[in-house]
Amino acid sequence: MKRVIVGLSGGVDSSVAAYLLKEQGYEVIGLFMKNWHDDSVTISDECPWLDDSNDAMLVADKLGIPFQTVDLSEQYKERIVDYMFDEYQKGRTPNPDVLCNREIKFDVFMKIALDLGADYVATGHYCRKGVIEKDGNTIYQLLAGVDTNKDQSYFLCQLSQKQLEKALFPIGELTKPEVRNIATKLDLVTAEKKDSQGLCFIGKVRLPEFLQQKLKPKEGVIVEVSNELESYHLDVPEFDSKEKELEFLSKRHNYQLADGVVVGKHQGAHYFTKGQRKGLAVGGTVEPLFVIETDVEQNVIYTGQGKHHPGLLKTTLFITNDELHWVREDLALANGESMHVKARIRYRQTLENAIIYKVESGLFVEFENQQSAITEGQFVAWYLNEELVGSGVIS
C-alpha cells in the first residue's frame, strides 16, 4: 500500500484531498506545517495558525488518519521571509506563494515526508499531473486544474521534474463547488471555511508593517507623470536584429523628477509596487493614480492616472538565465530558438498569446497584446495548451 503524506493546512481543499486519497486506497497521513511564530505583524488578534492546525486535526480525526504538526518556521524565515525583505529592498516585488511551494512544501516538507516513508506528497492545489513517455524517459507534466476559475498551476510554476514525480494533486479534477459539496456531505469542520488570503500559511499580514520591521520608513515624493510625456510617443527605431528590438521593448522606463509634478509624499518607495493603486493617499485626480515605477535609489514613486496610462503598458519582458526555469527540461529552448506559447504574469490572469525567444543572456517573452504593470520580481509562466512548461522571474 502506497503511503501519502498530505499537507493539511486547515482549509477545505486539503481536507478533501486527504479524503479522496483515502478513498483511492492510499495509506494517508496528515501533516500540518507551522511556518510562522511572530504574532506582532498579523492583522487580527486571532492566531490563524492555531485555528488552522486545530481544524486540520479535527479533519484528520474525522477521516481517521494519523496527524502531526511540523514546525518549519526556521526554514520559512530563512527561505521566504528573508528573501522577501531582500527583494523589496532591491525595488522588486516577490511572490512568496510561488516560492513557498518550491522551497517549503515541495522541498523541506517533502524531505520530511519521504523520511517518514512516504511514496508521495499531496496538496490541495487546483492543478493536475500528467505522465508521458518520451525517448524511453518518463516525463511529468504540470497541467491546469479543471476549474478554470481556480486553476493554481501558476503557483507551482517553479517545480522540478523530481518534485513533480513525488507530487499528487487529488482535487485537480474537481471544481471548487464540488470540493465544498464533498466536505459538506462528510460534515467536515472546514466545509464552509473561507479561502485563506495573505502569505501562504502566515495568515493575514499587514504588508507595510511587516516590511517596516526590516525596511525603515523614509519620506520621499510621489510624482505624477502625464500620459502626454514625450518619451511615450517616440517612434520605435529600426533594429538590425530581433534581439535588439526585444531589448528596446523590455527596457524599464527611466524617469526623472522633471518628467512630472510632485503630488504627495510617501514613507518609502520599497513599500510600493508597480500597478498599485491603494495607499497613495493622493486625491483630486480625474482618474485614480496608479504606481507606474518605483525608484528605490532616489526614493521616488512615479504615478499616472488611470489603468490605461502608457507608463503601465508594455509588451515585452526579460528573464536572466539564472532565474529561468523549465518544468519540461526536454522542451528548453537553445539560443536563437523561439516558441509560440500562452503566458501569464500573475495568478488568475487570462492566458495571453506570446512568443518566447532564447538569447545568450536569458529569455525574452513578447506578448501579442500590451500587458499592464509587468512587475520585476514577479513570475511569468508559459503554457502549451493546458500544460505549464516553464517560468521565470521578471527582471
Which DSSP category does 253 fall into? P
d(Cα 50, Cα 391) in Å, to the nearest integer?
A: 34
- Please say whether the beta carbons of 1 and 26 come within 8 A: yes
Give how far Cα 235 sits from Cα of 225, 228, 231, 374, Å: 20, 14, 9, 22
| Cell numbers standing for residue 218 | 523614509
Q: Is 157 marked active-site?
A: no
Helix (H, G, I), strand (E, B) or coil at 185: helix
Q: DSSP labels for 79-118? A: IIIHHHHHHHHTT----HHHHHIIIIIIIIHHHHHHHTT-
Q: Of the residues 47, 127, 157, 200, which is catalytic? A: 200
- Please say whether the beta carbons of 315 and 366 come within 8 A: yes
Task: Calculate the dihedral angle through the C-alpha atoms of 146, 150, 151, 152, rounding to the nearest 10 degrees.
Answer: -140
Residue type for 259, please? D
Give how far Cα 232 sits from Cα of 24, 190, 312, 327, Å: 58, 51, 11, 37
The secondary element (H helix, E strand) that includes residue 82 is helix 82-89
Among 254, 298, 301, 309, smallest CA distance to 282 is for 301
122, β-bridge pairs: 6, 168
* Kind of pairing between the strands at 27-34 and 67-71: parallel
d(Cα 295, Cα 291) in Å, to the nearest integer?
A: 11
d(Cα 99, Cα 249) in Å, to the nearest integer?
A: 28
Task: Please give the span between the terminal C-alpha atoms of the chain, in angstroms, as a whole number.
Answer: 46
Q: How would you class 31 by CB atoms within 10 Å of its CB: exposed for 0-12, middle for 13-18, buried for 19 or more?
A: buried
- The catalytic site residues sit at 100, 200
